[in-house]
Chains A and B, each alone.
Chain A
Amino acid sequence: MVDYVADRADQIAAQTLQHASLVLQCVALGTLLAVGVAVLVQRSPRGRAAANAVSAVGLTIPSFALLGVLLAPFGFGVTPAVLAVTFYAALPVLRNAVVGLTGVDRTLVESARGIGMSRTATLLRVELPLAWPVILAGVRTSTQMVMGIAAIAAYVLGPGLGGFIFTGLSRLGGANALYSTLTGTLAIVLLALVVDLLLVLAGRLTTSRGIRA
């Protein structure tokens, strides 16, 4: 196994980078979309219920099935992979963003309006910063989850470490097949741990001292 890894160090590093890049970009995109939707729906109880339903039901769709469905219009390649990963990345963030924004004390919002902050300023300077710890918790969940889903995206020839896993599985019993699968899996787990650590750090840096737990 050591030899296997040593021989392919460059390739593994490249795929890890690609995997990380796919996950991070999709999570970033998904977070933007989810927070945007949450902002739009959070004022209406019906909107909040709909957002929660979408987030709950969406997570029950098997990723393999979704990728399969996306193959028809988009073919093999990066597009279906990005779409599927972004979709899953957005869901936990959506749920948390709705919870976080709803949890902001209404008197603070009124206080902000009362001193002359516009609706947008209230959102950007009061509501989102106060909801941020909860939103960030959603981003962490989402990142962990799509690490695995991004591996499955290799099935539609998306980029990343999933390649090692699928190559290994398809040649199971052959030379180095097990090593290939293990390498992909372990690399993903390690990557997930590193990224989670970075997110915790980012959370410390971006959460005001006044509301840190």
Chain B
Amino acid sequence: MPETTTRALDGAADVRDAGGRRVSGVSIRLDAVTKRFPGQDAAAVDAVSLEIPAGELVAFVGPSGCGKTTLLKMLNRLVEPTSGTIHLGDEDATTQDPDQLRRRIGYVIQAGGLFPHMSVATNIALVPRMLGWEKARVEQRVDELLDLVGLDPGAYRGRYPRELSGGQQQRVGVARALAADPPVLLMDEPFGAVDPITRQRLQDELLQIQAELGKTIVVVTHDIDEAVKLGDRIVVFDTGARVVQYDTPEAILADPAEQYVADFVGAGASLKALTLTRVDDVQLASVSTARVGEDAPAVVARARAAGDDDVVVLDGRDRPVAWPSLAELAQVAAVPSTVDERLPVVGERATLNDALDTMLAASQGGAVVTGRRERYQGVVVIETVMDAIQRTRTATSG
């Protein structure tokens, strides 16, 4: 990496926050940041001051036109602030060369913003190559990142964006943004262009990546559910990017600062437990597992002995691929490698709401839970979700 005057933004040491989480991000501090567009009376962003702690994921929510996207784009100076200062870590972002600055800030837009004429590998390699990394290091990094976002490097490196699904494009977009290991990641409505089930999976993956890397992440969204799920903290904006409330999701749901927030957050207080409780907060059921290619009768016998009616099939990297019943398995000699495209899967940081959605969409009474790098963790069943709802109903009514 070329020598720059930007120590604070270069890869940070292994720092951990109070909760023991690894932090590789830096804090973001905004002081009276204002943006006026020519020919408009009201400021699009009016003297916003905000501090985002290092390693946290903060969601910007608000109605469209409230200035949240403009504010986000001022962080990497795609929009130049009219006045005010922005500090990333210890350095003043407003006095730097914008191109140099942006190479050290990940940026993800809706649908990934991949360049259609470049292969997946070329897209991901763009920033490291601009930073002058050696070829071998860049190649290694590309494979590392594809692995991180759950795409097999061998299969996807050489593909072009149009050969990928929307969700895969979005994953590559995240990989590209993370390529040079930036301390800050900015995401502008990142999951707006994909179907609900894919969106939920991408959200789970983002949370897992965040748990693994500890970047400072700012996500702009208009979806309060997404904000509640993703954000360590949420900023609720009104017109002119006025900060109405800046707090944890729990606090915003429990104690809205103004009627505006209450309206925005919406009703259904008892069901909010579903959005606030994560899959890894509840008891996971353990089910017998089997490896692809294992002797099927042996697996059936083992599962019967354990009292299970079905088995979760894992691939070589511990990722769940199918969830057959023992009756199905009894008909084959070896555990098949077929990937069940409709397998209900949720990440461990998914909300119970997501888990319920996933089960309903797949018409199943449970969902497989995966952790880091999509590794199998257990199974969440519908009874557990019902219990959680029941508990909060009793709690709120009593």
Is B177 engaged at the interface, CB distance under 8 Å to the other chain?
Answer: yes
Chain A residues within 8 Å of B286, by CB: none
Interface pair B102/A126, CB less than 8 Å apart: no
Query: Does any Cβ of A come within 8 Å of B119's Cβ?
Result: yes
How far is it, in angstroms, between the C-alpha of A113 and the C-alpha of B73 when the chains are bound? 11
**A111 within 8 Å of B (CB atoms):** yes
- Of the candidate stretches B109-117, B371-379, B388-396, the one touching chain A is B109-117
- Say yes or no: A129-B117 contact (C-beta < 8 A), given A113-B102, A115-B127, A116-B103: yes
Interface positions of A (Cβ within 8 A of B): 107-108, 110-118, 121, 125-126, 129-130, 208-211
A114–B126 touching, CB < 8 Å: no
**Complex contact A113–B78 (CB within 8 A):** yes
Residue pair B176, A114 in contact (C-beta under 8 Å): no
Chain A's nearest CB lies how many Å from the CB of B103? 3
Q: A208-B118, A211-B117 are in contact. Are A114 and B160 (CB under 8 A)?
A: no
Q: Is B237 interfacial (CB-CB < 8 Å)?
A: no
* A116 to B: closest C-beta gap in Å: 3
B95-137 vs A, CB cutoff 8 Å, 1 = contact: the mask equals 0000111111001011101111111000000110010000000
Q: List 21 A-B contacts (CB under 8 A).
A: A107-B110, A107-B111, A108-B115, A108-B116, A111-B113, A111-B115, A112-B115, A113-B102, A115-B102, A115-B103, A116-B99, A116-B100, A116-B130, A117-B130, A126-B115, A208-B160, A209-B160, A210-B116, A210-B117, A210-B161, A210-B162
Interface of chain B: mostly helix, strand, loop or mixed? helix
Among A110, A126, A211, the residue within 8 A (CB) of B78 is A110
Instruction: Find the B residue at minimum CB distance from A126.
Output: B115
Chain B residue at smallest Cβ distance from A210: B160
User: Which 9 A-B residue pairings sit nearest by Cβ, starting from the closest?
Assistant: A111-B113, A210-B160, A116-B103, A208-B117, A116-B102, A114-B107, A211-B117, A210-B117, A210-B116
- Say yes or no for B170: interface residue by CB 8 A criterion: no
Query: Are A108 and B100 closer than 8 Å at their CB atoms?
Result: no
B residues 65-116 near A (Cβ < 8 Å) are 76, 78, 99-104, 107, 109-111, 113-116
Could you tell me if B126 and A115 are in contact, using CB atoms closer than 8 angstroms?
yes
A-B contact count (CB 8 A): 65
From B103, B104, B113, B162, residue with most partner A Cβ within 10 Å: B113
Q: Other CB < 8 Å A-B pairs besides A107-B110, A108-B115, 11 of them?
A: A107-B109, A111-B114, A111-B115, A112-B115, A115-B103, A115-B127, A117-B130, A118-B99, A208-B116, A208-B160, A211-B116
Contact across chains for B126 and A117 when beta carbons are under 8 A apart: yes
Residues of B within 8 A of A210 (CB): 116-119, 160-162
Give the CA-CA distance A210 to B123 in the complex, in Å: 12
Closest beta carbon of chain B to A200's beta carbon, Å: 19
- B117 and A130 form a contact (CB under 8 A): yes
Indicate if the CB atoms of A116 and B116 lie closer than 8 Å.
Answer: no
Question: How long is the Cα–Cα vector from A10 to B78 in the complex, in angstroms?
Answer: 62
* Residue numbers in B under 8 Å from A118 (CB-CB): 99
The number of residues on chain B lying at the interface, defined by a beta carbon within 8 Å of a beta carbon of chain A, is 27
Cα separation A115 to B113 with both chains bound (whole Å): 10
Instruction: Output the least CB separation between B275 and chain A (Å).
Output: 30
Given contacts A107-B109, A130-B117, A208-B117, contact A114 B99 (CB under 8 A): no
**Which residues of chain B have C-beta atoms less than 8 A from A116's C-beta?**
99-104, 127, 130
What chain A residues lie within 8 Å of B117 (beta carbons)? 129-130, 208, 210-211
**Contact between chains at A114 and B116 (CB < 8 Å):** no
B111 CB contacts on chain A under 8 angstroms: 107
The 8 A CB mask of B168-180 against A (1 = contact, 0 = none) is 0000000011000
Chain B residue numbers with a CB within 8 Å of A209 are: 160
Nearest chain B residue, comparing its CB with the CB of A133: B117
Q: Chain B contacts of A121 at CB under 8 A? A: 130
Residues of B within 8 A of A208 (CB): 116-118, 160
The chain A residue sitting closest to B177, CB to CB, is A115
Complex interface bits, B36-74 against A, C-beta within 8 A gives 1, otherwise 0: 000000000000000000000000000000000000000
| Nearest CB on A from B9, distance (A) | 12
Q: Find the A residue at minimum CB distance from B159.
A: A210
Query: How far is A112 from B101 in the complex, measured between Cα atoms in Å?
Result: 13
The chain A residue with its CB closest to the CB of B158 is A209
Q: Closest Cβ of chain A: how far from B383's Cβ, in Å?
A: 45
A209-B119 Cα distance, complex, nearest whole Å: 9
How far does the alpha carbon of A115 sit from the alpha carbon of B177 in the complex, in Å? Answer: 7
Q: B176 — which chain A residues lie within 8 A by C-beta?
A: 115
Q: List A contacts of B99 (CB < 8 A).
A: 116-118
Contacts of B103 in A (CB 8 A): 115-116
Interface contact A114-B76, CB-CB below 8 Å: yes
A114–B162 touching, CB < 8 Å: no
Measured CB to CB, the nearest residue on chain A to B103 is A116
Smallest beta-carbon distance A128→chain B, Å: 10
Q: Tell me if B107 and A115 are in contact (CB < 8 A).
A: yes
Minimum CB–CB distance for B142 against chain A, Å: 15
Q: How far is the CA of A111 from the CA of B118 in the complex (A)?
A: 14
Q: How far is the CA of A60 from the CA of B97 in the complex (A)?
A: 48
Considering the chains assembled together, what is the distance between the CA atoms of A129 and B160 in angstroms? 15
Chain A residues, CB < 8 A from B126:
115, 117
Shortest Cβ distance from A40 into chain B, in angstroms?
21
